[in-house]
Amino acid sequence: MSRILAYAGEALRAIWLNRTRSILTMLGMIIGTSSVIAVLGISHAASSGISTQFSSFGVLPQQVSVDEDQDDPANAAIQYRDVATVRELAGDAVSIAEPVYQNNYTLSANRIHETESVASGSGYHPDTVALREGRRLTDTDEQSGAHVCLLSSDVADKFFPNQSATGQFIDINGTRFEIVGVYGDVLKGQLFTGAASGFAQIPYSTFHHMQPGPVDGIQYYPKDADHTDAANAAVIAALQHIHGARAKYQTQDAGAFVNGFEKVLGIIAAGLTGIGGVALVVAGIGIMNIMLVSVTERTREIGIRKAIGASRRDIALQFLMEALLLALGGGATGMLLGILATVGTASIISRTLGEAIIPYVLIVSVALGFSISVGMAFGMYPALRAARMDPIEALRS
């Protein structure tokens, strides 16, 4: 250990004597490491933020809708009464089934008129989405077709600024509704609504009276989350029992969408990390180049060391330590810059999506691993070249 520390001290002195050259050499490591760390940190933070956002919705449902590419989509249109039949025929595979409506309607209150998205809801709440005030929809609201609604926080603030919206009334498409609750800011920026985060929610039975005719789809929850295909097949079979075997339907799996989104994010992160890896290779080549120059400049020193008893191993370790310290210095600086970029981005993600977790252990491990690997791989050849020098020829140079 004392010998290694001695080599480290000599390497630091050599780096300090040529500090300008050393700093320029480390720039490649700084850029490469910081880009890799930033990509890794930001991708993991974004993935955790998205997972946090979606986890607030609990068990995500399946949804079936009409396949518009079939010959007669009107014949396959899902009617409000079909939901009861689906519950009966697919009851062994499906626990909850309810109609889904979504449309853009004009909302009016306090002399303000705005077009917002209006969605259906019920008393079944598998999610943990927080309310800013008031209550959620109940089974009683759905069964009675009550004219009650919930608003997203931005819609509530738009129509009822600086006051509580709960207990107030708002017109939706000309029908008067009492506001019973307001969702919290957790829904701002969430992925289901995209940029249009403003919405109102009313009981699906009330929506049916406002918009008679076919429903947009049926939302259902499989009894066994591991056998969603069986639930999908049961629901489609029930609908084909009603509308005929030629009717075609398509299902959407919200959970699969989330998993697919995270996989795409991982692929993008891997690609960007590869690009950062190219910068590290270029940085390694720069370290090897500068070490070869250093070996050439210190040929006589190498000859003197060998003449007084230094072995090939001693010479190789001396130059390898110098290359390793150059790589570690650039890697540590790049890691700090990458962490700063990750922390700044993670704070934005936390405000827009959900709590973003920064994998500090992974970041430090990757930074150290890359730095040591680059220093060892690209410092080995100059170190071996110095170790193989003939001492007599070195002293004559």
- Put simply, whether the predicted model's pTM sits higher than 0.75 gets the answer no
* Tens digits of residue pLDDT in 355-381: 777 888 888 888 888 888 888 888 888
How far apart, in whole angstroms, are the C-alpha atoms of residue 345 and residue 261?
A: 19
Q: What mean pLDDT, rounded, does the chain reach?
A: 84
Nearest partner of 272 among 44, 43, 26, judged by Cα: 43
* pLDDT reading at 193 higher than 50: no
Residues 6+ apart with CB under 8 A from 4: 317, 321
The better pLDDT of the pair 220, 41 is held by 220
pLDDT on residue 54:
66
Q: DSSP letter at 358?
A: P
* pLDDT reading at 191 higher than 50: no
Q: Count the alpha carbons within 13 Å of 218 in the hemisphere toward its beta carbon.
A: 31
What average pLDDT score do residues 177-198 get? 66
pLDDT on residue 397:
66
Query: At 63, which helix (H) or strand (E)?
Result: strand 62-66
pLDDT class of 196 with cuts at 50, 70, 90: very low
pLDDT on residue 58:
64
* pLDDT reading at 267 higher than 90: no
* pLDDT reading at 144 higher than 70: yes
pLDDT on residue 253:
79
Q: DSSP letter at 74?
A: T
At how many degrees (to 10) do helices 254-297 and 312-352 cross? 150
What average pLDDT score do residues 281-306 get? 85
21-25, 200-204, 323-327 — most confident range: 200-204
pLDDT on residue 257:
67
Which sequence spans correspond to the domains of the chain? 2-55+259-396, 62-253
Q: Do residues 37 and 359 lie in contact, with contact meaning Cβ atoms separated by under 8 Å?
A: no
Q: For residue 22, what are its two tokens? A: 């050393």
Q: DSSP letter at 185?
A: G
Q: For residue 292, what are its two tokens? A: 């070869």
Max CA separation in the chain (angstroms): 102
pLDDT on residue 170:
96
* pLDDT reading at 335 higher than 80: yes
pLDDT on residue 192:
43
pLDDT class of 69 with cuts at 50, 70, 90: confident
At how many degrees (to 10) do helices 312-352 and 19-55 cross? 40
The better pLDDT of the pair 173, 226 is held by 173
pLDDT class of 195 with cuts at 50, 70, 90: very low
339: phi then psi, degrees, rounded to nearest 5: -65, -40
Query: Beta strands of 111-234 (E only): which ranges?
Result: 112-121, 131-134, 148-151, 169-172, 175-183, 199-203, 217-222
159-168, 216-225, 311-320 — most confident range: 159-168
How far apart, in whole angstroms, are the C-alpha atoms of residue 190 and residue 352?
A: 7
Q: How open is the CA angle 125-128-130, to the nearest 5 degrees?
A: 110
The better pLDDT of the pair 269, 97 is held by 97
pLDDT on residue 354:
64
* Tens digits of residue pLDDT in 223-247: 887 788 899 999 999 999 999 989 9
pLDDT on residue 57:
65
Q: What is the percent of the chain with per-residue pLDDT over 90, rounded to a whole number?
A: 33
End-to-end CA distance of the chain: 33
pLDDT on residue 190:
45
177-181, 263-267, 315-319, 359-363 — most confident range: 177-181
pLDDT class of 85 with cuts at 50, 70, 90: very high
Give one DSSP letter per residue of 75-89, joined into a string.
Answer: TTPPPTTHHHHHHHH
